[in-house]
Structure 1
Amino acid sequence: MSEYFVRELIALIFMAVALGMDAFSLSLAMGMQELRLKRIALIGFTIGIFHLLMPFIGILLGKVISGQIGNMTTIAASLLLIGIGAQMIFSAFNHEAKKLIHPFGLGLLIVAFTVSLDSFSIGLSLGISGVKTLLALILFSVSSMMLSWIGMLLGRKVHGFLGKYSEILGGSILFGFGLMLLLS
């Protein structure tokens, strides 16, 4: 292996973990909803697929679309996370309120799409830089899938200790992460 390849691999691994951290945060909150292991596996797999597809689409469009769209996707993802987090906090106090997004069906696709929006904008820049596309896509997908699984399993454990307050904690994590994304 050449020194250049090793440096590129290390950079891609760090980028993949960084991209997967929003999936980890969201998964930590989702894990507090007492999900079954089968559902956790499906959610993680779906998030991993979206973290493969979104940067791939970004790479394909990287030479066509300007860098301005990256800011719009970050803002959209931030606002959605803030909204979901606020709704989770509100529903913890109002037992009659329904959850905004359930990790089932269309809700699962929305969750996976939301946490993979930042990987789309990264894909745009990677398409211009000429990075090893297949390697980047595999690393992004596997990293986000693994971090999602870890987050949901940790969320299940925390829920057992916190009970009703776990939904407030999960909502606060999402709200705070969305706010951090919006302000950065």
Structure 2
Amino acid sequence: MGELISIIVMATAIGMDAFSVSLGLGMQRIRLKRIAFIGIIIGLFHIIMPFLGIVVGKFISAQIGDWTLLAGGLLLFGIGAHMLFSAFNREEKKVTRTTGIGLIILGLSVSIDSFSVGLSLGLSGMKTALMLIAFGLASMVLTWIGMLIGRKVHGILGAYGEILGGSILCGFGLYILF
């Protein structure tokens, strides 16, 4: 049960980047059907990217042996720290196109962090299928929530969501290390 809670919290932390980006997207008055589709695409990218990271992480794990747990913890902490610092150094980014190649670029850009997290999870040996499903579902739901809130609120929560997600990842990195 404790591992399931850890997985849910980590998936939520991973989805916070998608949440913060979707707040801005929601202010573009996108139709509800399009919001649903965007959330599904972002959720799929949050399954594919960590899966690729896990595959690479398992390969690296076989190469570096006993150092994998240390490397995984350091990597999670580093990703969390990067999210924290980028939340404070945020420049206004405009993502106006949510169709075609623009949607693919959006999905890739918000899920690139999850590749690194997947890499560290591949190094630490956590349950792969459960993690991937949790990452995808959490990102999809957080994208929907962010876009719906973005329709009502004007970008106040964006940086705070990323700060929370970064703090959680730092915490998990420290937990693995110690």
Question: Does TM-score exceed 0.5, indicating one fold?
Answer: yes
Q: What CA distance in whole angstroms lies between the structure 1 residues aligned with 2:123 and 2:137? A: 23
Alignment map for 1:146-165 (pairs within 5 Å): 146-158=141-153
Q: What CA distance in whole angstroms lies between the structure 2 residues aligned with 1:16 and 1:107? A: 24
Q: Is it true that 1:118 corresponds to 2:108 in the alignment?
A: no
Q: Is it true that 1:19 corresponds to 2:14 in the alignment?
A: yes
Identity of aligned residues (%): 51
Partner of 2:4: 9
Q: Is it true that 1:58 corresponds to 2:44 in the alignment?
A: no
Deviations 1:117-169 (A, max 9, x none): 111111011112211100000000000000000110111123xxxxxxx4xx4
Q: Is the 8 A contact 2:16 2:162 kept in 1?
A: no
Q: What CA distance in whole angstroms lies between the structure 2 residues aligned with 1:13 and 1:87? A: 29
Q: What CA distance in whole angstroms lies between the structure 1 residues aligned with 2:162 and 2:3? A: 28
- Two-structure CA RMSD over aligned residues (Å): 3.4
Q: What CA distance in whole angstroms lies between the structure 1 residues aligned with 2:136 and 2:162? A: 21
Secondary structure at the aligned position of 1:125 is classed as helix
Alignment map for 1:1-184 (pairs within 5 Å): 6-65=1-60, 85-88=91-94, 101-158=96-153, 166=154, 169=155, 173=158
Structure having the higher Rg: 1
Q: What CA distance in whole angstroms lies between the structure 1 residues aligned with 2:158 and 2:53? A: 27
Q: What CA distance in whole angstroms lies between the structure 2 residues aligned with 1:116 and 1:149? A: 15
Question: Mind listing any 5+ residue stretches in structure 1 that lack a counterpart?
Answer: 1-5, 89-99, 159-165
Q: What CA distance in whole angstroms lies between the structure 2 residues aligned with 1:140 and 1:156? A: 24
Partner of 1:161: none
Q: How many residues align?
A: 153
Q: What CA distance in whole angstroms lies between the structure 1 residues aligned with 2:93 and 2:5? A: 38
- TM (norm. structure 1) is 0.69
Check 1:30–1:47 CA distance in 2 against 1; reply closer, same or farther (3 A cut): same
Q: What CA distance in whole angstroms lies between the structure 2 residues aligned with 1:87 and 1:56? A: 27
